[in-house]
Structure 1
Amino acid sequence: MKIAILGAGALGCAIGATLTEGGHETWLIDRSAAHVEAMRSHGLRVDDARGSRQVEVRASTNPSEVGPAELVIVLVKSFHTDTAIRGALPLVGPDTLVLSLQNGLGHEDILADAVGRERVLAGKTYVGGVLRGAAHIESGVVGKHTIIGELDGRVTDRVRRVADAFNGAGLTTQVSDNIVGTMWDKLLVNVATGALTGITSLTYGQLYEEPLLKATSLAAVAEAIAVAQAAGVTLSMTDPEQAWTLAAQGLPAAFKTSMLQSLEKGSATEIDFINGSVVRWGARHGVPTPVNATLVACIKGIERAMADRQNAGSHV
């Protein structure tokens, strides 16, 4: 299968390397010229449970060079989704499918506006990755599963074909007839810890030692569950404690959420697509979400202070 990965960060590279080694013509597309050039010159260095190796990958900054793919996997930061897909329309041919594996909710609508809802698939992945430098990642694929599905819940031949391609390459994948519910399940886990660690700068180990923060987390998750239920979404969990427990499962005490990592790097977060989604859906369905609205406001305040500091620094 010819596959293009839009956004070759840690996760894009981890999935891209796996699909490449599985025999698929896989293109890693990224805005960073240095990262792409390093991958083209030396391959992608992958450190994982099997050790360290160089994987010869196809990489480009220019979607026109790649041409139409059978599948486009979208893995850019949430707030870049619209710009990225509109800049990557040369990847989209008559039969191209577009699959978002991003965190949070709302990307499917953005992609549908750009390429048509009929070609959009949704999914969630628990694959992990850390970008160690240009063309160098630490990858966690083994034992991590990916779930994909049609937005309307049908189990179609085309979604099965994508799952077969992924499974054949060693990317454990299942097809869901309730992908929206699956996305909400993952959202609950992100709601449980992301914003709280971003605001407090705490690692998982520190967060889980603070009863007050646990109480806030459970309140935020309870709001999200109420919103999902009002929207008619079928969840796999109905107790906020489940999301709180699941969030830290198998992770070291020193682990930092992606939201905290973004803030520490001085970049914007995906808050609008996580807690912000809960607030938007709540407003749509008449469910109050004061805890999530407060968490969004606090993260936005931190982002504003950070941007002001960066602007002040650039004017010195």
Structure 2
Amino acid sequence: MTRYVVVGAGAVGSALGGLLAQQGVDVLLVARGEHARAMAAGGVTLRCPDTTVTVPVPVVTAAEDAYLTVDDVLVLTTKTQDAEAAVTGWADVPVHGPDGTVGRVADLLPMLVALNGVTGEEIALRYVERVYGLCVWFPTVMVEPGEVIVRGTPRRGVFHVGRFGASTDPSADTALFDGLVRDWEPAGCLVRCPDAVMEWKYRKLLANLGNVLEALLGDASGAKDVRRAAQAEARAVFDAAGIAVVGDEESRAGWQPDGLSFESVPGEPPGLGSSSWQSLARGTGTIETDFLNGEVVRIGRRVGVPAPVNARLTGLARRAAREGMEPGAFDVDELRARVLT
């Protein structure tokens, strides 16, 4: 029986693990701090638009506490800025078979990279043989330890998955994908297996360029011009770099299947938002904008296409995280003046 070991179980990882565990799928959540202690003591509470449920889940706080076997699949759900530390911490962990240790994670186990942005897969591939991109369309928020808001209803989200890098065993990839469909879809997590998963992740990156606006402004509805400018820069950069991106119509069809809509959760304001918003709300001191808007800037510099709007947004985001600002610290007119001029 496959077990899904969710590394970096914050909002996305805890929600996914809880939904799978509710259906009897074997999971192990790897978390830290108060969130890990709360889940270990009382399970993970999933608050959805249509239901609230608390699910018992096994939890560990370190790689050495997880006894890994050949039936395990690692699902990386950290923030991108924490990915390298997480991957290096797991790459050399021993994997066990019926007769003892048979190798390391790096050589044997699949790792699904369920991160925003497009750099997590490259980070993982430096250390792990079997790397798979996982494009996550799954709005979740973790505000209180042990409690996660899941906004999808009645289905919960869509996950596009594909091999990253060359495969030496396509049959193993197919078996993994079939297992994901079998285990995840009963939990409301729809699995799609496109030929080019990174085209989906670059399309998701375009959507995520607005995360920083939610974080800095709180309510980003008045900054649509800034969002459009950031996305226009990104499209110009991707075109110059020869990067393929899923088209608008295909993405709408892929992310809006029958039975999936995103609604408010009773008792919570509708403005609870992106992972960047959550980072400022929790005062983590870091924010992943450098791997979202900053990725556009990096690629643009490589191909000679400036991306000043995205560069300025990354600078403001770093400042907000460094100085402990809360979401909504900037006024929209002030932001527009700083970014668009």
For 1:258-297, list aligned pairs within 5 A. Answer: 258-267=275-284, 268-297=286-315
Q: Contact (CA 8 Å) 1:276, 1:292: kept in 2 or not? A: yes
Alpha-carbon RMSD: 2.7
Q: Contact (CA 8 Å) 2:38, 2:145: kept in 1 or not? A: yes
Q: Which segments of 5 or more consecutive residues in structure 2 lack a partner in the other structure?
A: 96-103, 265-269, 326-341
Which of 86, 89, 94 aligns to 1:87? It is: 89
1:231 lines up with 2:241 in the alignment: yes
Structure 2: distance between partners of 1:48 and 1:218: 31
SS of equivalent residue, structure 1 residue 259 = helix
Q: Which segments of 5 or more consecutive residues in structure 1 lack a partner in the other structure?
A: 308-316
Q: CA deviation at 1:189?
A: 0.7
For 1:170-181, list aligned pairs within 5 A. Answer: 170-181=188-199
Partner of 2:31: 30
For 1:112-127, list aligned pairs within 5 A. Answer: 112-115=125-128, 118-127=129-138
Q: Given the superposition, is the C-alpha separation of residues 14 and 238 from structure 1 closer, same or farther in structure 2, using an over 3 Å criterion?
A: closer
* Count of aligned residue pairs for this structure pair: 289
Q: CA deviation at 1:162?
A: 4.2
- 168-177 or 178-187, larger mean C-alpha shift: 168-177
Alignment deviations for residues 55-82 of structure 1 (CA, whole Å, 9 cap, x no partner): 1211111222222252110111211111
Q: Given the superposition, is the C-alpha separation of residues 254 and 42 from structure 1 closer, same or farther in structure 2, using an over 3 Å criterion?
A: closer
Q: CA deviation at 1:48?
A: 2.2
Q: Given the superposition, is the C-alpha separation of residues 2 and 179 from structure 1 closer, same or farther in structure 2, using an over 3 Å criterion?
A: same
Partner of 1:306: 324
Q: CA deviation at 1:12?
A: 0.8
Partner of 2:215: 198
The residue type paired with residue 63 of structure 1 is: A
Which of 199, 220, 224 aligns to 1:214? It is: 224
Partner of 1:137: 148
The residue type paired with residue 55 of structure 1 is: V
Structure 2: distance between partners of 1:12 and 1:197: 21
Partner of 1:182: 200
Structure 1: distance between partners of 2:23 and 2:166: 28
Partner of 1:56: 56
The residue type paired with residue 82 of structure 1 is: E
Structure 2: distance between partners of 1:250 and 1:37: 29
Q: CA deviation at 1:139?
A: 2.5
Q: Given the superposition, is the C-alpha separation of residues 286 and 304 from structure 1 closer, same or farther in structure 2, using an over 3 Å criterion?
A: same
Partner of 2:112: 99
Q: Contact (CA 8 Å) 1:153, 1:177: kept in 2 or not? A: no
For 1:249-264, list aligned pairs within 5 A. Answer: 254-264=271-281
Q: Contact (CA 8 Å) 2:151, 2:262: kept in 1 or not? A: no
Q: CA deviation at 1:279?
A: 0.8
Q: TM-score normalised to the size of structure 2?
A: 0.76
> Which protein has the bigger helix share?
1
Q: Contact (CA 8 Å) 1:81, 1:110: kept in 2 or not? A: yes
Which of 88, 97, 122 aligns to 1:109? It is: 122
The residue type paired with residue 43 of structure 2 is: G
The residue type paired with residue 3 of structure 1 is: Y
Q: CA deviation at 1:285?
A: 2.1
Partner of 2:328: none
Q: CA deviation at 1:194?
A: 1.8
